[in-house]
Amino acid sequence: MRRLTIAGSVLVLAFVLALPASGARSASKTYLAAAQQGVADIHAHWWNASAGWYNDTYNGQPPSMPLARLWSAYPLFETLVGIELAQPTAANKKALTNFADQAASLYWNPNVKPYGGYGYYPGMTSAQANVYYDDSGWWGLAFIDAYQASHNPAYLADARRAMRFIVGSGWDSKLGGGTWWDTFHHHKTIEPLAAAIMIGTRLYTLDNDKWALGWAQKMLTWANAHSFNQKQGLYQRSATDNTVMDYVQGLMATANWELCKALKQPAMCTKAQQVANASLSVFGQNLNWAPMYDVVYLQWMLEYYKESGDARFYTLAVHNAARAQSEALNESGYYLNNWQGKPLADGLGEEASNLELFAWLAASPPPS
């Protein structure tokens, strides 16, 4: 059993807001230590030395496709970003850039039409492969974050090519808009649309990319008109599917807020606040989907908190970090349970998503 790094973790995390400034700083260090210990454990138990990359699961890798799917590797990518943001050091930056540089090449399929896109499995380069637009969305978001942590402009280019893939062939220009789930066009869904809106927003605010801004505005306008659930006050999966997903709201609330500030359009700030309020009402304090998805919501609502000052979302992240330590941690010391303490899977994504939450809390200043 591995050594746990958060002594009295539930109390430490749940009561961090009541601490004086010195105690809040100590809690941030505790989050950081937990994330760093977890990354070391991942390297010890999920690393595939012969392949030079991570396995998808801890036990029983299939011999034909043992390596991490992109969605499984995404929370580890974001964990390394959060660690570098929380503690900028040469070692942390090197760990991040080593991962990001490999991520940019391992998952890139240059042969999928018309621009290439990020595939779900390393080395998948067939022109006939079915490539999922949301995978490119998650990688694009991670490269945006990697740029902000490392200031390496190559990562903006990596994010831009993810967005170009989504809007270049994922946007349904023939039937009035919306984004496809995959290159085989099985159905439309909002996940790649929300990711592309956030990528485009950051490409504009960080790099003055007018092309990206134009697409972000176009897609957001479409979503407001065709994919907004008026009853719940949240963005739904598509014009014909009223499913609402928490991480989509995190992206859309933050994108609305950032565009409001960048373009000086107060109505967008109002929209962001409405989505944020509705998210708290619909999803509550005890998130109950799965850490891999819920933590994306928490990460982007932490961004919203840092920009808007709405401390409810720092509290929300702290609350669920306490649940991660008390419920997601299994008897072997890995974060492989769900939020209710039931075994979930032994995947890299399950383990790393909890570490991502710790890392981004460490990188987020507590409310004053």
Please choose, from the candidates 41, 47, 35, the residue with its C-alpha nearest in 3D space to the C-alpha of residue 80.
35
pLDDT of res. 21: 55
Q: What's the alpha-carbon Rg for the chain, to the nearest Å?
A: 19
Angle 315-343-68 from CA coordinates, rounded to 5°:
85
Question: How far apart are the two ends of the chain, measured CA to CA in Å?
Answer: 37
**CA–CA distances in Å: residue 59 to residues 47, 167, 345, 351:** 12, 37, 10, 13
The class (CATH top level) of 107-275 is: mainly alpha
Nearest to residue 354, comparing CAs of 14, 15, 42, 25?
42
CA 57 to centroid of chain Cα atoms: 20
pLDDT at 20: 52
pLDDT confidence of residue 350: 97
pLDDT at 53 over 60: yes
Residue type, 114: P
CA-based nearest residue to 363, from 29, 42, 67, 12: 29
Mapped onto helix, strand or coil, the DSSP state of residue 57 is strand
pLDDT band at 368 (very low <50, low <70, confident <90, very high): confident
Residues 16 and 114: their CA atoms lie apart, in Å, by 49
How many other β-carbons are positioned within 10 Å of the β-carbon of residue 90?
A: 7
Provide the whole-model pTM: 0.94
Relative to beta strand 234-235, strand 228-229 is antiparallel
Omega prior to 114 cis, within 30 of 0: yes
Average pLDDT (267-291) is 97
Instruction: Render the burial of 27-61: b for 16+ CB within 10 Å, e for the rest.
Output: bbebbbebbbbbbebbeebbeeeeeebbbbbbeee
Cβ atoms 165, 116 nearer than 8 A: yes
What was the pLDDT predicted at 35? 98
Render pLDDT for 11-51 as a digit per residue (tens, 0 to 9).
444 444 444 555 567 788 999 999 999 999 999 999 999 99
pLDDT one-digit tens code per residue, 190-240: 999 999 999 999 999 999 999 999 999 999 999 999 999 999 999 999 999
Return the domain boundaries, the chain: 1-66+284-368, 107-275
Contact partners, residue 49, CB within 8 Å, separation at least 6: none
Specify whether the CB–CB gap between 354 and 335 falls below 8 A.
yes
Q: Which one-letter DSSP state was computed for residue 149?
A: H
Provide CB contacts within 8 A for 165, sequence distance 6+.
112, 115, 116, 117, 118, 131, 133, 136
